[in-house]
């Protein structure tokens, strides 16, 4: 199939998937203003490329929390991947590993931490949702650590599920032949049908709305894995996260699926980077669809980016091969962007290589 860019997988996935599943993957919260803005904001950042620099050799490798990867492009946690393809998270894990990059497995995966680990070598992070029952959390974190996961991405923007109207209309629920595998043995693996979104009801029943900064510290008492706080978009919370012991920050608005009318993450990134003062690495997810987007995030100070929808939608279209292709296309586009901007390594990408609408004229 002649797919030439990441976005083309949207239409293919839409054709292939049941409406309920496609809508769950693709949509955002309420007016979906933030969802649209997530793309638009990238288009308002322009390049200031440098010329006549030898770009015959370009190095994209980087080190994340001490782990060397092939490029600063990683896989974000997205739930329930077996709705996209029978191989689900297995396919994603294999594709990420063969691309030499990190996969983050969702708490709500349809494959367990042990199953994802069984796919072979690869650097994997585990995304954590904190359940009301802390024994459940402690058990799961222990299992992830034992299965060789290298870090926790603690999602902090979801005390309640955002109002995703497509899911409400479709009465979204996990198909009965699938389970949230990590919770299977705990009797929390099934999702009931509801009059609105089955997932919203599940979250209301199980997820701990009392979660607060002291729990970030508690988490460090039950695991040696470093903790990335996922869902920070302000300087204030950046400082608190670092104080609470975070090993890194993920600037994320959950793919525009939680609070609508928050800024695009690429617009919030610089504020967070400044507040972090280089004490911990800052990552970004949200709306990354092009190699140019990756470059813009790095120019604004991100140590790397994560992609969500491009993975599930390419998985739906072509399984493992689709996810591989998405990672390869982004890699190739990013390399080309570096060459055409006059950068041969990640550290050569600077703030001066871009201009934003909030910059003063030079
Ligand atoms: C998500 N996201 C998410 N985040 C998380 O912490 N745990 C999860 O289980 C999920 N599940 C999930 C499912 C689907 C279908 C989507 C689209 C997103 C959010 C995800 O990790 C990430 O923040 C965004 O997807 C990034 O934006 P893009 O790349 O999808 O634009």
Q: Is 230 annotated as a binding residue?
A: yes
The pLDDT tens digits for 232-285 are 999 999 999 999 999 999 999 999 999 999 999 999 999 999 999 999 999 999
- Specify the pLDDT at position 1: 57
- Specify the pLDDT at position 20: 97
Q: What ipTM, to 2 d.p.? A: 0.99
Q: Among 5, 77, 1, 12, which Cα is nearest to 315's?
A: 12
Phi, then psi, of 178 in degrees rounded to 5? -115, 160
Which residues in the chain show pLDDT less than 70? 1
Return d(Cα 63, Cα 243) in angstroms, integer: 23
Instruction: Tell me if 99 CB under 6 Å of ligand 1.
Output: no
254 is an active site residue: yes
Phi, then psi, of 229 in degrees rounded to 5? -90, 115
Of the residues 39, 85, 254, 325, which is catalytic? 254
- Specify the pLDDT at position 131: 96
Please, what's the b/e burial string for 60-87 (b: 16 or more CB within 10 A of its CB; e: otherwise)?
Answer: bebebbeeebebbbbbbbbbbbbbbbeb
- Specify the pLDDT at position 186: 86
271 burial level (CB within 10 Å; 0-12, 13-18, 19+): middle
- Specify the pLDDT at position 361: 83
Instruction: Tell me if 28 CB under 6 Å of ligand 1.
Output: no
Backbone Cα Rg of the chain:
19
Q: Is 179 annotated as a binding residue?
A: no
Per the listing, tokens 């959950």 go with 254
Instruction: Tell me if 287 CB under 6 Å of ligand 1.
Output: yes
Is CATH 3.20.20.70 the classification given to domain 7-356?
Answer: yes
Domain residue limits, the chain: 7-356
The pLDDT tens digits for 327-344 are 999 999 999 999 999 999
- Specify the pLDDT at position 25: 98
Pairing of strands 282-285, 227-232: unpaired
């Amino acid at each position: 199939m002649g797919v030439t860019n990441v976005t083309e997988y949207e239409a293919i996935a839409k054709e292939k998937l049941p409406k309920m599943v496609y809508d769950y993957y693709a949509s955002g919260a309420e007016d979906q203003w933030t969802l649209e803005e997530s793309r638009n904001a990238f288009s308002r950042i322009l390049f200031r490329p440098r010329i006549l620099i030898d770009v015959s050799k370009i190095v994209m490798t980087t080190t994340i929390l001490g782990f060397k990867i092939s490029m600063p492009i990683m896989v974000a946690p997205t739930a329930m991947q077996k709705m996209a393809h029978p191989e689900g998270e297995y396919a994603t894990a294999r594709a990420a590993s063969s691309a030499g990059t990190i996969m983050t497995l969702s708490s709500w995966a349809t494959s367990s931490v042990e199953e994802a680990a069984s796919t072979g070598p690869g650097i994997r992070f585990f995304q954590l949702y904190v359940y009301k029952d802390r024994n459940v959390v402690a058990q799961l974190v222990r299992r992830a650590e034992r299965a060789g996961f290298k870090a926790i991405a603690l999602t902090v923007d979801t005390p309640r599920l955002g109002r995703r109207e497509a899911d409400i209309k479709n009465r979204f629920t996990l198909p009965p032949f699938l389970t949230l595998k990590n919770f299977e043995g705990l009797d929390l693996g099934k999702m009931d049908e509801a009059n609105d979104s089955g997932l919203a009801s599940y979250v209301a029943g199980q997820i701990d709305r009392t979660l607060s900064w002291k729990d970030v510290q508690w988490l460090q008492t039950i695991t040696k894995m470093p903790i990335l706080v996922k869902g920070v978009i302000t300087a204030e919370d950046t400082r608190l996260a670092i104080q609470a012991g975070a090993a890194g920050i993920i600037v994320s608005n959950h793919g525009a699926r939680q609070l609508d009318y928050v800024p695009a993450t690429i617009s919030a990134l610089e504020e967070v980077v400044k507040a972090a003062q280089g004490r911990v690495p800052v990552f970004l997810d949200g709306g990354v669809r092009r190699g140019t987007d990756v470059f813009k995030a790095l120019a604004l100070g991100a140590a790397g980016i994560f992609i969500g929808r491009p993975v599930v939608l390419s998985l739906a279209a072509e399984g493992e091969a689709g996810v591989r292709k998405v990672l390869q296309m982004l890699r190739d586009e990013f390399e080309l962007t570096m060459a055409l901007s006059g950068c041969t390594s990640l550290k050569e990408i600077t703030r001066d290589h871009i201009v934003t609408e909030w910059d003063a004229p030079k």
